[in-house]
Amino acid sequence: MTKHLSSTWLPLGCLLLLALFPLIAPVLDLGFYVSFVRRVLIYALAASSLNFILGYGGMVALGHAAFFGAGAYVVAILSAQGYSQAIVVWPLAMLVAGALALLIGAISLRTRGVYFIMITLAFAQMVFYLFISLRQYGGEDGINLSAPSTLPGLSLASDTQFYYLVLVIVALCLWLMHCMVNARFGRALQGIRENETRMQALGYPVLRIKLVAFVFAGALAGLAGALLANHNLFVSPSLMHWTASANLIIMVIVGGIGLRFGGVVGAAVMLLLEEFLRLYTDYWHLPLGVLLLVIVLFAPRGLAGMFFRRSV
Amino acid sequence: MSGTLIAEQLLNGLQFGLMLFLIAAGLTLVFGILDILNVAHGSLYMAGAYVAAQTMQVTGSFVAAVLVAAVVTGLVGLVLELVLVRKLVVRDHLAQVLGTFAVILIANDVVKMIWGPAPMMMNMPAGLSGPVQLSPDFLYPAYRLLIIAVGLAVALGLYLFVTRTRAGVLVRAGASNRQMATLMGVRVPLLFLGVFVLGAVLAALAGALLGPITAIQAGMGEQILILVLVCIVIGGIGSMRGAFVGALLVGFVDTAGRAFLPTLLKLFFSPAVASSVGPTLAAIAIYILMAVVLVFRPAGLFPARG
């Protein structure tokens, strides 16, 4: 019972803290960190969408950053063309990322094991080089956005208003993923993770379920990308370099694979560590690598695994 | 488009493909026998290049540079196997990718700490810096010919090693059925160690040979690793023959794509379209090749296991 309580109240408490943060931060002289927490939230959404297919679907996709980057580029390219209404552009970013995921997933999901890892990686590299070659949109150097997307009644140029919008969107998406994981669809997906042959024999359309999950995760990553484009007001192909995909996987693993808040905890821990280590040394990858080794070798369930029960 | 240009690009493709093979051979052996996807294999290549460049600066001898690079990187491989890889053998592929990715993060910062963030240059051996006259109107850099010769020799040596020696039999036995090999009395831990060190030495050899014609910098390992992964996936992960065919295919397709695709497209499309689509298509040609191969042969051209 206590376990159950903690898994309900802890997230709500965190949400409340996050909602109060922009109000408290200036008092504590942490105003600068409002924007930082916003970035954490955006990466939390991207990592959680990967956790959906990686943790619950057992699909080790090493190309998730392609969808993230595609969403960001939709916002940047449309903004350069003069379209910046968030109500139109952001769903379009999800649509494009989802369509890309449909194309890549339809081919990749036919392969197994290491081959799946490799082919998702190959497709992501293709997308990466595709955007490098878009010279009218900055090529390898990337492209600046002249202004953030517009929404009636809100100004995304305001740090706080954009913060609350991101918080609401990310919370809604996490809640949606939580519902899906516990719905029939999510149960079937987890069944496939455990034993694909058996689910096939039981009559589940295995490939279709995996593909739907893959596209859903791709679309959410696209939304995260759209948010990040507005956050940075800059988009470049490095968003979808294969090491960016690996970083998303690391966030999921560090946070806790297949755990409800694995992606959130992972994104928060990794970005905080990066920020913190950068203060002290140029060589911040090294301690990060050591930490990753320790987690892989000694804490296979990640950090969230120590605080939350497995929400299966 | 003249004959010499085509011949030159073919030789470039062969040279690139053979170097990819040196790296791919180790990676595919490690995968076939240890069943580990080692993404840090590119870091061993990087280590080889740095050590070779350093030795070249100190001694001025190219032969010494190659030998020292091979020995030092072999030792690095030895330590890596004993400390980390051995523990990852029993884990799933995801843990292996992450564990070895951590090695990449560490290795890149370590070389930056030792040699600084700026790219390092390595001199060519003095006698080989000029071109060689292959036919009356065809000059080709002597150093690249040396790379081709060494690459072919190593490929042949590996072939003889795997097919004609007792150690090679053990390697093949371990690759085709690890458990059976263990039961037949093969000392598997020793075999693992030997294969991993051999892979490291081969990667270092490629790094040392390519050193004078590439920028030696942190991150060079990841760049080439992706190409090498494409090679072994096309060939069939774990298969030596597959790695050879895959590496040459990727070497030729990549080189030819960059050299000829933009020109070729101009025959069919307007120059504006050709000059923007050409380079893109050339950059993604090998990934298209890989996707096509995997659609028709999901386990690569030469599947290593049944």
What pLDDT score does B264 carry?
Answer: 82
Q: Contacts of residue A125 in chain B, CB cutoff 8 Å?
A: 226, 284, 287
pLDDT per residue over A116-131, tens digit each? Answer: 888 898 889 889 988 8
Q: Does B130 map to a domain?
A: yes
- CA dist., res. B193 & res. B86, Å (int): 9
d(CA B35, CA A150): 51
Collect all residues of chain B within an 8 Å Cβ-Cβ radius of residue A286: 105-106, 109-110
With a cut of 70, say whether residue A2 has pLDDT above it.
Answer: no
A289 CB within 8 Å of a chain B CB? yes
Q: Is the pLDDT of residue B148 over 90?
A: yes
CA–CA distance from A30 to each of A21, A24, A35, A37, A165 (Å)? 9, 8, 10, 11, 20
Both tokens of A75, joined, read 């916002």
* CA–CA distances in Å: residue A109 to residues A150, A207, A219: 37, 7, 17
pLDDT of residue B306: 43
Classified as helix, coil or strand, A20 is helix
Question: Positive or negative CA dihedral for A213, A58, A225, A272?
Answer: positive
Average pLDDT of the residues in B239-250: 92
Chain A residue whose CA is closest to B236? A115
Question: Of A235, A222, A273, A184, whose CA–CA distance to A70 is shortest?
Answer: A222
pLDDT at position A6 is: 58
* pLDDT at residue number A311: 44
Q: Measured between CA atoms, how close is A30 to chain B, in angstroms?
A: 30
Q: Look at residue A40 and tell me if it is in a domain.
A: yes
Coil, helix or strand for A276? helix
Residue range(s) defining the domain that contains residue B86: 7-217
pLDDT of residue A312: 39
**Rounded distance, CA B33 to CA A254, Å?**
29
Burial A131-164 (b: 16+ CB within 10 A, else e): bbbbeebbeeebbebeebbebeeeebeeebebbe
Question: Strand B131-135 and strand B138-141: pairing?
Answer: antiparallel
Closest CB from A129, A243, A282 relative to B222: A243
Name the residue facing B99 among A117, A126, A293 (closest C-beta).
A293
pLDDT, mean over chain B: 88
With respect to residue A261, please indicate whether it lies within any of the assigned structural domains: no
CB contact under 8 Å between A119 and B101, yes or no, is: no
Q: How far is A154 from chain B (nearest CA, A)?
A: 39
| Buried-exposed string A267-306: b where 16+ CB fall within 10 A, e elsewhere | bbbbbeeeeebeeeeebbbbbbbebbbebbeeeebbbbbe
Chain A positions touching B91 (Cβ under 8 A) are: 296
Give residue B263's pLDDT: 80
Please write the tens of the pLDDT for every residue from A12-58. Answer: 888 888 888 888 887 887 777 888 999 999 999 999 999 999 999 99
| Residue A123 falls inside a structural domain | yes
Q: Are A86 and A151 in contact (CB under 8 A)?
A: yes
Angle of helix A159-182 versus helix A33-51 axis, rounded to 10: 20
Structure-token pair, residue B37: 């996807």
Tell me, yes or no, whether A172 lies in a domain.
Answer: yes
Q: Is pLDDT larger for residue A62 or for residue B304?
A: A62
The fraction of chain A above a pLDDT of 70, given in percent, is: 94
User: So what's the pLDDT on residue B78?
Assistant: 96
How far apart are the C-alpha atoms of B123 and A148, rounded to whole Å?
49
The answer to whether position A94 is within a domain reads: yes
* A187 pLDDT higher than 90: yes
Domain count, chain A: 1
Burial label for A107, CB within 10 Å (0-12, 13-18, 19+), is middle
Is B97–A118 a contact, with Cβ atoms under 8 angstroms apart? no
Query: Does A9 contact B at CB distance below 8 Å?
Result: no
| Domain boundaries, position A194 | 35-241
Distance (Å) from the alpha carbon of B26 to chain A's nearest alpha carbon: 17
CB contact under 8 A, B233 and A107: no
Which residues of chain B lie closer than 8 angstroms to A293, CB-CB? 84, 99, 102-103, 106
Q: Does B104 map to a domain?
A: yes
pLDDT value, residue A4: 53
- Amino acid letter, residue B54: Q
Q: Is the pLDDT of residue A267 over 70?
A: yes
pLDDT attached to residue B20: 94
Q: What is the DSSP letter of A56?
A: I
pLDDT confidence of residue A254: 85
- Residues B157-210: tens digit of each pLDDT: 998 998 889 888 888 887 777 788 888 888 888 888 999 999 999 999 999 999
- DSSP letter assigned to residue A142: -
Residue with token string 């950053």: A65
DSSP track, chain B: --HHHHHHHHHHHHHHHHHHHHHHHHHHHHHHHH----TTHHHHHHHHHHHHHHHHHHH--HHHHHHHHHHHHHHHHHHHIIIIIHHHTTS-HHHHHHHHHHHHHHHHHHHHHHH-SS-B--PPPGGGSSEEEEETTEEEEHHHHHHHHHHHHHHHHHHHHHHHSHHHHHHHHHHH-HHHHHHTT--HHHHHHHHHHHHHHHHHHHHHHHGGGS-B-TTHHHHHHHHHHHHHHHH-TT-HHHHHHHHHHHHHHHHHHHHHHHHHHHTTS-HHHHHHHHHHHHHHHHHHHHHHHHHH-TT-SS-S--
Query: Closest approach of chain B CAs to the CA of A232, in angstroms?
Result: 25
User: Backbone phi, then psi, for B120, in 5-degree steps?
Assistant: -105, 140
pLDDT of residue A223: 96
Instruction: Return the residue in A108, A126, A243, A247 with the most chain B beta carbons within 10 A, the one to mutate for interface testing.
Output: A126
* Joined tokens for residue B283: 């950059």
**Does residue A180 belong to any structural domain of this protein?**
yes
* Inter-chain touch A300–B108, beta carbons under 8 Å: no
Task: Give ipTM to 2 decimals.
Answer: 0.81
In this predicted model, which residue has the larger pLDDT, B201 or A296?
A: B201
The arithmetic mean of pLDDT across residues A102-115, rounded, is 87
Coil, helix or strand at residue A160: helix
Is A54 among the domain residues?
yes
Tokens at residue A225, please?
A: 């990308």
The domain total for chain B is: 1
Q: Is the pTM of this model over 0.95?
A: no
Taking CA atoms, B276 is separated from A123, A126, A285, B279, in Å, by 20, 15, 36, 6
Number of inter-chain CB pairs under 8 A, A vs B: 117
DSSP state of A158: S
Tell me, yes or no, if A297 comes closer than 8 A to chain B by beta carbon.
Answer: yes
Indicate whether B254 belongs to any domain.
no
